[in-house]
A = this chain, B = another copy of it.
Amino acid sequence: MRRSDRIALISKVLLENPNKIISLNYFSKRLQAAKSSISEDLDIIKNTFITLDEGELSTISGAAGGVRYRPKRSKQDIDAFLQGLCETLRDKKRIIPGGYLYMTDVIFSPEYSCIIGEIFSQIFIHRDPTCVLTVETKGIPIALMTARALNIPMVAARRDSRVTEGPSVSISYVSGSGQKIHNMSLAKRTLSENARVLIVDDFMKGGGTAQGMTELVAEFKGEVIGAAMVMATAIPKEKLVQEYTPLLILEGIDTHKGEIHIRINDKL
């Protein structure tokens, strides 16, 4: 195998395994090449990715060492992506009677959810999350893609407990918007003690659902290290949770004029 052959394979394997440490031994055996050659290959890939703003390669030394790829976008790239997302979501055909915004196609799209998950991973990776938590249904695709980019498990709370998941912990919570009481449950076996939990959801209005998830995490003796939302409403300004990170802010929907006012969260 020549260098260019090796680089094709190494790039592929790294890309398929974001945030996972892959030993040089693996590549060395698979490609029947000396570790020194693999090291040189990795340097080339690393520099190319830096130059082209395509993510970060790190070499970890020691017995459990190897090489690790992490998605990493420049601020400029993220802004351009979010600008495009805003434009997509501003289409007046997305206004649903009742003044809601239809965005299921976007958050269920493999392409958008993958990029959003990578952006969330980039924002929260330094807080060392050990799992991603969402609540069914619409948060699941984004949560899954975030977990994929972070190489950690994804856990989804249910609206009611299911017989197929065994004993579970349930909580009741009041939604910030509707003042209705909801239930949320999580199977006991899904979350270990001392988990560092990244909450991921598609939309936040009052923050009741995020607060419910926070209470659920407390029941499991875990810690919430962040709450990532695709979109949060500007109003109410005070949410039931203090800390949350939305990519986009929904300022309002004017159903008469057919206008949707969305902007990028400028505190990202």
Footprint of B on A, CB under 8 Å?
A: 1-5, 7-9, 11-12, 15-16, 30, 41, 44-45, 47-49, 51-52, 54-55, 96-98, 100-102, 104-105, 108-111, 113-114, 136-137, 140-141, 144-145, 147-148, 151, 153-156, 158, 163-166, 187, 189-190
Bound Cα distance A15, B14 (Å): 10
Q: How many copies does the complex hold?
A: 2
Would A109 and B154 count as touching, CB distance under 8 A?
Answer: yes
Chain B residues positioned under 8 Å from A45 (CB to CB): 8
Would A165 and B110 count as touching, CB distance under 8 A?
Answer: no
Which of A16, A51, A114 has the most chain B CB atoms inside 10 A of its CB? A16
Given pairs A4-B4, A102-B189, A136-B136, 18 additional interface contacts (CB within 8 A): A1-B48, A3-B4, A8-B44, A11-B15, A12-B54, A100-B163, A100-B164, A102-B187, A104-B164, A104-B165, A108-B156, A110-B147, A114-B148, A136-B137, A137-B156, A137-B158, A141-B141, A144-B144
Chain B residues positioned under 8 Å from A114 (CB to CB): 16, 148
Give the 10 A-B CB pairs with smallest separation, nearest first.
A110-B148, A11-B11, A8-B48, A136-B137, A5-B48, A100-B164, A8-B45, A15-B15, A96-B166, A140-B140
Give the secondary structure class of A's interface: helix
Q: List 13 A-B contacts (CB under 8 A).
A: A1-B48, A5-B48, A9-B49, A9-B52, A15-B15, A96-B166, A100-B163, A101-B164, A108-B156, A113-B144, A137-B137, A140-B144, A144-B144
Bound Cα distance A81, B156 (Å): 25
Choose one: B12, B98, B154; the contact of A11 (CB below 8 Å). Answer: B12
Choose one: B11, B15, B54, B165; the contact of A102 (CB below 8 Å). Answer: B165
Would B98 and A163 count as touching, CB distance under 8 A?
Answer: yes
Bound Cα distance A163, B100 (Å): 8
Shortest Cβ distance from residue A167 to the other chain B in the assembled complex, whole angstroms: 8
Would B163 and A141 count as touching, CB distance under 8 A?
Answer: no
Shortest Cβ distance from residue A180 to the other chain B in the assembled complex, whole angstroms: 13
